[in-house]
Amino acid sequence: VVVVQNASVLELKKALRRHIQLRQARQGGVQHLSWKYIWRTYHLTYAGEKLADDRKKLREYGIRNRDEVSFIKKLRK
């Protein structure tokens, strides 16, 4: 997924959403995903750190070109 150099976590989430929806449309997979459910159930993480603040810049988390972020399931409270 490509985002601008000084993108925020929210912009990364929007880019992920667009990328996954396009991929699903091309492959003929599920047409609708509940992103509200996904963001409520999973955290985006980078190097073991949760990307919790949507307004924080990716650079502040140390994310650079070609770095990998992943989804991890939230623990129940």
Q: What is the pTM of this model?
A: 0.88
CATH annotation of 7-71: 3.10.20.90
What is the pLDDT, as a whole number, of residue 59? Answer: 95
pLDDT tens for the 77 residues of the chain, in order: 999 989 999 999 999 999 999 999 898 877 788 999 999 999 999 999 999 999 999 999 999 999 999 999 998 76
Please state the domain extents for the chain. 7-71
Q: What are the tokens at 25?
A: 């449309």
What is the pLDDT, as a whole number, of residue 72? Answer: 95
Q: Put the strands of the sheet holding 49-50 in their side by side order.
A: 49-50, 42-46, 70-73
How far apart are the C-alpha atoms of 52 and 45, rounded to whole Å? 9
Residue 53 φ/ψ, nearest 5 degrees: -90, 110
